[in-house]
Amino acid sequence: MLLRPHHLLALLLAAAVVPAGRPASAGAPPAAPAGPATEDGAERLDAALAAAYAAARERVRADPALAERLRRAHAAFLAGREAVRARPEARLPVYLRSGRQWLDAVAGPRTGWAGAWISGAGDIVIAPRADGRFTVRARGDDPIGGSYTCGFVGVGRLAGEAMEVAWDTAAEEDDGADGWTLRLRQAGSVLTLEQRRNDSPAPTAPFCGVHGSLEEAYLPARAVPPPVTAWEAAGPGRP
């Protein structure tokens, strides 16, 4: 597939985010899959991961909905271990370390839009502008398969209880999203992202690779951590 220049820009911008850094009870920490570790150091990394999860649960416990989102994100991460083991080129220790860094970045309850937000497969950074709008940078990729990368740099405007985000054309005349926009909503301390095609001729989101998506629930973060990944360095589909 031939990529247009502004599509390539979207993918490059996705790599430019520099790391800093459902109501119910959170319940007990999800258990790691049974069986011996298959790579050196995995048991030690499992212990560090469990400690990081316990600390993150403590930070979010004042908000039951946020605590539940954290529980689900961590359960999905642990379920991904088997997929990592099934890929010879993937590295379980790398996956576990990046998962611990992700947990370390999770912040407590938040009010307001500004700041870093993270999901298991991406992040959003929202910064207020002097004109009352917001600069919004969203990034995402496939942590295990490396099959896609997403990148969106936009300008957000409040519309009732939501934020509508359009591609930022200030530095480029072309719309790198081909008319697609993002809609952000807050429910307590959880941010949700919806991709909107509008009347775009592009059948899939131009700012994502094939089968990629930024649609997810995002948790408040103290800083943007390195991406959750099973790759030692730049793997397939990764910048």
**For residue 53, what pLDDT is reported?**
98
pLDDT band at residue 232 using 50, 70 and 90 as cut-offs: confident
In DSSP terms, 163 is beta-bridged to: 158, 184
Q: Which residues share a beta bridge with 116?
A: 125, 221
pLDDT average, residue stretch 157-166: 96
DSSP 155: E
Q: Which position has the higher pLDDT, 27 or 88?
A: 88
The H or E element spanning position 191 is strand 190-196
Cβ proximity of 206 and 10 under 8 Å: yes
Task: Mean pLDDT check: name the lowest of 32-41, 134-143, 225-234.
Answer: 32-41
Instruction: Identify the pLDDT of residue 171.
Output: 63
CA–CA distances in Å: residue 102 to residues 156, 219, 224, 236? 26, 11, 8, 21
Name the residue type at position 92.
L
What is the bridge-based pairing of β-strands 162-167 and 181-187? antiparallel
Average pLDDT score over residue span 171-182 = 85
76: tokens are: 């999905």
What is the CATH code of the structural domain delimited by 5-16+113-221? Answer: 2.40.128
Q: Which two tokens stand for residue 102?
A: 């992700």
**170-182 in b/e burial notation, b at 16+ Cβ within 10 A?**
eeeeebbbbebbb
- pLDDT at 15 > cutoff 80: no
CB of 73 within 8 A of CB of 190? no
- Whole-number pLDDT of residue 7: 44
